[in-house]
Amino acid sequence: MFSVKSKARIAGLAAAMAAVSIPGAAAAGVVVKSAGPSAATYPVGKKVADSSTITLRAGDKITVLVNGGTKVMQGPGTFRVGEGATRTRARFARLTRQGASNRARTGAVRGGGGASVTMPNLWMVNVAAAGTTCLYDLENVRLWRPEPSEGQTYSIAQQDGDGALDVTFVETESMRALDPEGLKLADGATYTITGPAGEGDSAASVDVKIVALTETYRQPDALAGALAENGCTGQLTVLGDIAEAEAS
């Protein structure tokens, strides 16, 4: 027979073991691409439990990054989020890894058949897109433009500050390193990027907020969660494009 004290100890161990199993059961993926009638229900950045099921309608296509890789679901049908994910491949890991922008090749990256232009990896500042950009290294920043057909100059000015710099892309160059001595980006600061004016048009400007990531995320789903929490939705879109291409 067990004493009252022994029974209490056994009950405590059982509770502790049950608690250890909870995180795995509660693991959550992050939606990185969403299209179709259910897109409003599953917007980019939404977390969905790996153990949950999703029912999609005709025309729906949802891509989720989970701990096991990438799960692409296309309606109509009902899917369990954590089952049948495509494992992360080497190229995917390389393009999302910290410091990937320093190894990127110059030149435009275009999809076949007239597909939209996509950044070659996550860690660049898109000079034509407003929003928040998450970066690891503010000393080594690369700017990227989606239309590298001719030489263009962009003006970058810090809001509520005196920092400003003109950056010139030559001919078909899509990437350009930002000179940290001319302008060093600051965590939490917002910058107005003004592009060249078109013929008969005024120059277009976008506001970009910079967020410095201090933690290294080794799993794609953890990285997606960090981007979503910091409002870096443009990079989530790029992450989704890369993930979906790797899963196909």
pLDDT, position 198: 66
Q: What is the mean pLDDT of residues 67-91?
A: 86
Mean pLDDT for the chain? 81
pLDDT in tens, 20-36: 333 334 578 999 999 99
- Pick 12 or 218 by higher pLDDT: 218
- Give the burial class of 244: count Cβ atoms within 10 A of its Cβ; 0-12 exposed, 13-18 middle, 19 or more buried: middle
Q: At what angle do helices 233-247 and 220-229 cross, to 10 degrees?
A: 160
- Pick 37 or 111 by higher pLDDT: 37
Q: How many CA atoms does the CB half-sphere of 31 hold within 13 Å? A: 19
Q: What is the mean pLDDT of residues 87-111?
A: 56
Q: Can you give the chain as a three-state secondary structure string?
A: CCCHHHHHHHHHHHHHHHHHHHHHHCCEEEEEEEECCCCCCCCCCCEEECCCEEEECCCCEEEEEECCEEEEEECCEEEECCCCCECCCHHHHHHHCCCHHHHCCCCCCECHHHCCECCCCCCCEECCCCEEEEECCCCCEEEECCCCCCCEEEEEEECCCCCEEEEEECCCCCEEEECCCCCCCCCCCEEEEECCCCCCCCCCEEEEEEEECCCCCCCHHHHHHHHHHCCCHHHHHHHHHHHHHHHC
pLDDT, position 81: 93
Residue whose C-alpha is closest to residue 166's, from 155, 174, 175: 155
User: Which of 103-107, 120-124, 150-154, 214-218 shows the lowest per-residue confidence on average (mean pLDDT)?
Assistant: 103-107
Q: What is the mean pLDDT of residues 60-83?
A: 92
At 38, give phi and psi (nearest 5°): -95, 10
In this predicted structure, the answer to whether residue 53 has a pLDDT above a threshold of 90 is yes
| Residue ranges per structural domain of the chain | 28-80, 99-215
Task: Label residue 12 by pLDDT band (50, 70, 90).
Answer: very low
**Domain 99-215 falls in which CATH fold?**
Immunoglobulin-like (2.60.40)
pLDDT, position 247: 80
Cα distance between residue 137 and residue 210, in whole Å: 11
pLDDT, position 95: 62
